[in-house]
Structure 1
Amino acid sequence: MSKETKKFKTESKQLLNLMINSIYTNKEIFLRELISNASDAIDKYHLLSLSDDKLEKTNDYEIHLEVDKKKRTITITDNGIGMTHDELIANIGTIAKSGTLEFLKNLKNKDMKDSDLIGQFGVGFYSAFMVSKKVEVLTKSAYSDIAYRWSSKGEEQFTIEEADKESRGTEIKLFLRKNEEDENYDEFIEDYKIQSLVKKYSNYVKYPITMEREKTIPRLDADGKEIENEYDTIIENETLNQMVPIWKKNKNEVDQKELNEFYRSQYYDYNDPSFTIWTNVEGLLTYKSIIFIPGKAPQNLYSDKYEKGLQLYAKGVFVMDKCKQLVPDYLRFIKGLVVSPDLNLNISREVLQHNRQLDKIQKNLEKKIINELSKTLKNDRDKYEEFWKEFGVNIKYGVYDNFGINKDLLKDILIFTTANEEKSVTLKEYVEKMPKDQKDIYYGSAHSKASLLASPQMDVLKSKGYDVLVLKDEIDEFMLQILNEYDKKHFKSINQGDLDLVDEKEKEDIKDLETKKEDLLSKIKDSLHNEVDEVKLSTRLTESPVCLVSGEGVSFEMEKVINQMPGDKDVKAKKILEINPQHELFQAIEKVYANNPESIEDYANLLYNQALLIEGLEIKDPVDFSNKMVKILIKAANLGDTDGTNSEEN
């Protein structure tokens, strides 16, 4: 048979350019693609040999790599099924078997990164042209006595001719491109680079991937002893891949020590994981996964540079390092891998089509992880609390995220510091310990338990023995707003204007007193020049003189958080100044107001600024506050003078 020159079918040049320049964004994956094709060819031969007596029964399979640095070639050889003349044209000569016109139309109208086209085009072989100026394929089918050589420079045409090859299988030879200003192709003929690419992308291909490598060994004398400082160089066929991945072993045969070593080496962590979750699912959706929860949160976990995701393998071939679709945002700290034979890859295998399979795997893994955390919370509280210190904020974010879609899944693994308990409590534990007359679940934002206990808003709650959740993180109030209730008990902030903590008689007494003191309360409000929305007598204060509470809507803590966010924001919580009518300070103000109503402004400002300080809010004019404080202290000192020098003024 003489050499044939054929043109690629369809709009091949245009399509081939897209294959080489648009679809593949990472040139080093050419080796992964060619090794994957070689593995597929061996798979096909092995399966056919089981039922076809014409084919030799063997397990001596191998994918061999050879590098010629002088000629700048890389050769990938397999002893798989091989190809006939017609199969060469069908599998390689025709880039896309169907739908090419529609495929091209889609590519013209959208960025490849957003392409949702399913990988039905069999174009992995053409990744070779990303690094090659020419590609030769020497192949012999297990069903033919004739071998063929296919050759192309990746342009409009290819040649095919009969060739000499004794054994079945396929040999692909790549003639590397010359180095360019921004591309170094020489690195692909270095042994270390080939080895690293095999380990990275094809480490778990089930057939040995071999390469001849030079090895220096000590020279031995006639008695078999090493001769000092004398060495021989030998050529050894070395297997580069591991072949049997940890997830293919029987789970019962892999101990935690081996899993820890795998985790540390694979994910570059000095610490052992705190949780290892091994899943094997078979059925309509088949996959295996090993999920690790780190012992310590990565330092960059909350930075923009941190990338979530799980490693993804399909049929033993590494597909991507960070598959984001498998990890919900709130579990971004998890590490691990997923292996599935069922996934639909897009044309380049570099990006998975966003599909229901991945969504289902993600949901399954999410439930599995939360179930494991729930069991740990129940059976090993200390271990769970260590986890919570590192990643509790993430779980809270999971409750808040997506308008609370996961709140029912997560609400029972939330734990809180509280005012009354030494150890943290779950919401279920809080509700179980509530006094019979307590209607709601109370919370307060504070930097620590001690500062919450010192808060004046705690007065009546402490007197009743009610416990209060201590909220220390910015996300906490937003999370509880989304939860809204637990076990039909609503969440209420101790800073809310109306807590409904006293009986009807006490309410009526306070209302009557407010009516009597209406002029004084109005004067205090007017003196503050719209700094507060309301001034009222308090039912919650028993020991403290004054406090500031928020009305309906945004709380003080939420006001601070929202206004710290990027963008022009000026969110204001409704401020209500509550005064303890039983406190001697209020009684002193009553006397001042009775004697000189106009002098009440200084006292009103002191009350308000005192409330701001207690609440941790900013005082607008600290100097004015200090001057008014000094003025009142001097006046108080003069009023209390006992030597008679100011008796006339008194």
Structure 2
Amino acid sequence: MSGKVETHEFQAESRQLLQLVVHSIYSNKDVFLRELISNASDALDKLRLESLRDGDLDADTSDPHIALETDPEARTLTVRDNGIGMSREEVKGLIGTIAKSGTAEFVRRLKEANANKDAAASADLIGSFGVGFYSSFMVADKVTLVTRRAGERKGTRWESTGEGTYELEALDEAPQGTSVTLHLKPTDTEDHLYDYTDVNRLRQIVRRHSDFIPWPVRTTVESPAPATSANDAEDGDTTATERTVETLNSMKALWARPQSEITEEEYKEFYKHVSHDWSDPLETIHTRAEGTFEYQAVLFIPSHAPLDLYQQGGRRGVHLYVRRVFIMDDCTSLLPNYLRFVKGVVDAQDLSLNVSREALQQDRQIQLMHRRLVKKILSTVKELRTKDNERYRTFWREFGPAMKEGLLSDTDNRETLLDLASFPSTHDPEQQTSLRDYVSRMKDGQEHVYYLTGESRARLENSPHIEAFRAKGYEVLLLTDPVDEVWVEQVREFDGTPLRSIAKGQVDLDGDADDKDRAEEKQRADDFEPLLARLRDALSDDVKDVRLSSRLTTSPACVVGDAHDITPNLEKMYRAMGQELPPVKRILELNPDHPLVARLKDTHAADAEDPALAETAELLHGMALLAEGGELADPTRFTRLLADRLATTL
């Protein structure tokens, strides 16, 4: 018996996304089968792990396998497994919802790819957003899923035509595991390329895309039955057939094979299996260790960052096996969080099959593997930079912000990470620079690596803080990633050269000034002191000091922090995370060579009681905040003061 059939609607964005998936043209429709087989393989992996952890689990583990069943007359293809299965709630959460995160962005990018007739880009995006199951609708008019979770009695049926709704039905009986039945679209009778009821076609796809799946992928084939009598043999009667079960894949663990025997295409297909990404990896790392403890690993650096790379709870990419037995698909102990984008498999020889995540964190062998794998990945990136700068630039563009997180957490490899990092700078508007190259270009007498943090390169290049540095030819790093605000506070130097923010503390770029020059500077400071004192009083609620600046050449004013103050961006980040901080007062610096500042000095020296000075101070401070991209405390008041002042001058 079955329960009541419920019809549910996809959310508007999901409905739009599904239509794009269904009606877009892809360069290789075969990949839908790889996705379904990979999902089935994952379900079998999870069943084996669950049965190891729970000896009382009521589940059949006697013959784990994946079956492909075809019905040419009904034009259906079913992919069936007897793995862990899904509960009703899991069906609604995993199958009933398209793309748990990033749906709107996926829709936008898929539309762009289709508008540009870029079929390959469209296909790549599906893997990026984790909606591989829905590739079934490229070849099917309707998809029916029947599943029962191991240990439960009732099953669930899910069905959709890909038109924006799906049906859910509770089943009193269902086989353990999951079956996905595709009601295939009609095919061109002159082109059997996409006839997915053809066993020969299925055999070809499985061997190409899923040969390394560790579970047997089986299908039933028909072959002529042997003659049963001498008369049958003489008459040439070949009408009788028999049905046999054929295993389509070799089930050979790719990571256990010698590297010399593995083709580049096999590595690419294996990457797509473990990552569910439809694009090729940027780099492949195949390594093994022998001796006191042994392991084998095939790791991949993707060619693009996944959407959940910077989301809390995003998927990690390394699967842990022990002697080719799957243990877990999200092993956070094998690699640090800043390398969470790395995909692949690690197969250890001497761990317990029943090891828990908590025990892994303390296991000495895991810790040793962790260190060795990190060093191998970092050395691979270093080699990539040396031999193929274009691919390195792709890597850093996609994963640079994540890598810089390691500057905070991985002190053992901090120097290596600093050496690998690239940053935009004022040296070249098109290319990024390494710290080592920056140091090699430092001017004679320069003692610091100068940097400026902010939200965008354009904003930093136009910041008043950078004026004197540009005028004197000093290179400045332009750090725009949110993590830059944090790591520069902890990393004080590179290879013995201190790092210094140009928006903090005093700046002295006139290291070669003689006594006469310094005397003139002191005299000028004395001349401006009455004005500075009155501005300090007027702005006492907003700034901690007002002083003359040596970092400005064209702007009248700027705001800077003390050497150990946090930056406004970092303060904003803390507040966004719900961490309240006491207000941080900054310093207003004035350009004594600017006509506005010089006029203020002369005007207020003549009229020490000018009541308009307080408003002028507000305007100066507001302009300085706006110039660096900051926010005004009271934009309405600032606008009114500016309008009134303009009106009096017209």
Fold conserved (TM > 0.5)?
A: yes
Please give the secondary structure, in 1, of the residue aligned with 2:329: strand
2:264 pairs with 1:234: no
Q: Corresponding residue for 1:601?
A: 614
- Supply the distance in 1 between the matched residues of 2:508 and 2:401 (Cα, whole angstroms): 31
Q: Corresponding residue for 1:267?
A: 275
Contact 2:535 2:614 in 1 (8 A): yes
Note the alpha carbon deviations across 1:373-426, whole angstroms, 9 max, x for none.
Answer: 011112211110111111000111111226x44312311001011012242110
Q: Corresponding residue for 1:612?
A: 625
Selected match of 2:415 from 403, 408, 413: 408
Contact 1:314 1:343 in 2 (8 A): yes
1:451: how far off? 2.8
- Supply the distance in 1 between the matched residues of 2:643 and 2:54 (Cα, whole angstroms): 74
With over 3 angstroms needed to count, the CA separation of the structure-2 counterparts of 1:634 and 1:369, relative to structure 1, is: same
2:338 pairs with 1:330: yes
Q: Corresponding residue for 2:319?
A: 311
Contact 2:419 2:436 in 1 (8 A): yes
- Supply the distance in 2 between the matched residues of 1:210 and 1:533 (Cα, whole angstroms): 72
Aligned AA (1:528): L
Selected match of 1:417 from 416, 420, 424: 424
- Supply the distance in 2 between the matched residues of 1:574 and 1:452 (Cα, whole angstroms): 21
Q: Corresponding residue for 2:532?
A: 521
- Supply the distance in 1 between the matched residues of 2:258 and 2:627 (Cα, whole angstroms): 60
Contact 2:225 2:242 in 1 (8 A): no
Note the alpha carbon deviations across 1:563-583, whole angstroms, 9 max, x for none.
Answer: 333224134434111111111
Aligned AA (1:411): L
Q: Corresponding residue for 1:544?
A: 555
Please give the secondary structure, in 1, of the residue aligned with 2:282: strand
1:599: how far off? 1.9
1:177: how far off? 8.3
Please give the secondary structure, in 2, of the residue aligned with 1:424: strand
Selected match of 2:376 from 328, 343, 368: 368
Contact 1:399 1:405 in 2 (8 A): no
- Supply the distance in 2 between the matched residues of 1:526 and 1:399 (Cα, whole angstroms): 42
Contact 1:310 1:321 in 2 (8 A): yes
With over 3 angstroms needed to count, the CA separation of the structure-2 counterparts of 1:456 and 1:214, relative to structure 1, is: closer
The unaligned stretches of length 5 or more in structure 2 are 1-48, 65-80, 83-147, 157-169, 181-208, 227-231
- Supply the distance in 1 between the matched residues of 2:334 and 2:273 (Cα, whole angstroms): 22
Q: Corresponding residue for 1:119?
A: none
1:267: how far off? 2.1
- Supply the distance in 1 between the matched residues of 2:587 and 2:152 (Cα, whole angstroms): 76
Contact 1:559 1:573 in 2 (8 A): no
Contact 2:319 2:346 in 1 (8 A): yes
With over 3 angstroms needed to count, the CA separation of the structure-2 counterparts of 1:524 and 1:224, relative to structure 1, is: farther
Contact 1:346 1:353 in 2 (8 A): no
Please give the secondary structure, in 2, of the residue aligned with 1:533: strand
- Supply the distance in 2 between the matched residues of 1:342 and 1:351 (Cα, whole angstroms): 14
What does residue range 98-497 of structure 1 map to in structure 2 within 5 Å? 179=153, 204=214, 215-216=221-222, 232=241, 234-236=243-245, 238-239=246-247, 242-346=250-354, 354-401=362-409, 404-422=411-429, 423-497=431-505
TM-score of the superposed pair, with normalisation by structure 2: 0.64
Note the alpha carbon deviations across 1:517-559, whole angstroms, 9 max, x for none.
Answer: 2221111121124201100011122222111111132333444
1:608: how far off? 0.5
2:643 pairs with 1:630: yes
Mean CA deviation greater in 309-318 or 213-222: 213-222
1:586: how far off? 0.9
Aligned AA (1:330): Y
Contact 1:612 1:618 in 2 (8 A): yes
Q: Corresponding residue for 1:59?
A: none
Aligned AA (2:620): L
Please give the secondary structure, in 1, of the residue aligned with 2:452: strand
Q: Corresponding residue for 2:191?
A: none
Aligned AA (1:499): V
Note the alpha carbon deviations across 1:23-66, whole angstroms, 9 max, x for none.
Answer: 4299488628x98xxxxxxxxxxxxxxxxxxxxxxxxxxxxx99
Selected match of 2:508 from 488, 500, 522: 500
Please give the secondary structure, in 2, of the residue aligned with 1:273: coil
- Supply the distance in 2 between the matched residues of 1:210 and 1:370 (Cα, whole angstroms): 37
- Supply the distance in 2 between the matched residues of 1:21 and 1:318 (Cα, whole angstroms): 12
Q: Corresponding residue for 2:118?
A: none
1:249: how far off? 1.9
With over 3 angstroms needed to count, the CA separation of the structure-2 counterparts of 1:547 and 1:177, relative to structure 1, is: closer
Contact 2:485 2:567 in 1 (8 A): no
Contact 2:463 2:627 in 1 (8 A): yes
How many pairs align? 468
2:54 pairs with 1:24: yes
Please give the secondary structure, in 1, of the residue aligned with 2:292: coil
Contact 1:319 1:350 in 2 (8 A): no
Please give the secondary structure, in 1, of the residue aligned with 2:366: helix
- Supply the distance in 2 between the matched residues of 1:533 and 1:393 (Cα, whole angstroms): 33
Q: Corresponding residue for 2:588?
A: 577
Contact 1:553 1:573 in 2 (8 A): no
Contact 1:344 1:353 in 2 (8 A): no
Please give the secondary structure, in 1, of the residue aligned with 2:396: helix
- Supply the distance in 2 between the matched residues of 1:615 and 1:20 (Cα, whole angstroms): 56
With over 3 angstroms needed to count, the CA separation of the structure-2 counterparts of 1:312 and 1:179, relative to structure 1, is: same
Aligned AA (2:590): I
Aligned AA (1:24): D
Mean CA deviation greater in 285-294 or 594-603: 594-603
- Supply the distance in 2 between the matched residues of 1:491 and 1:509 (Cα, whole angstroms): 30
Please give the secondary structure, in 2, of the residue aligned with 1:444: strand
Note the alpha carbon deviations across 1:150-195, whole angstroms, 9 max, x for none.
Answer: xxxxxxxxxxxxxxxxxxxxxxxxxx989369999965567969xx
1:219: how far off? 8.6
- Supply the distance in 2 between the matched residues of 1:348 and 1:496 (Cα, whole angstroms): 48
1:320: how far off? 1.8
Mean CA deviation greater in 413-422 or 424-433: 413-422
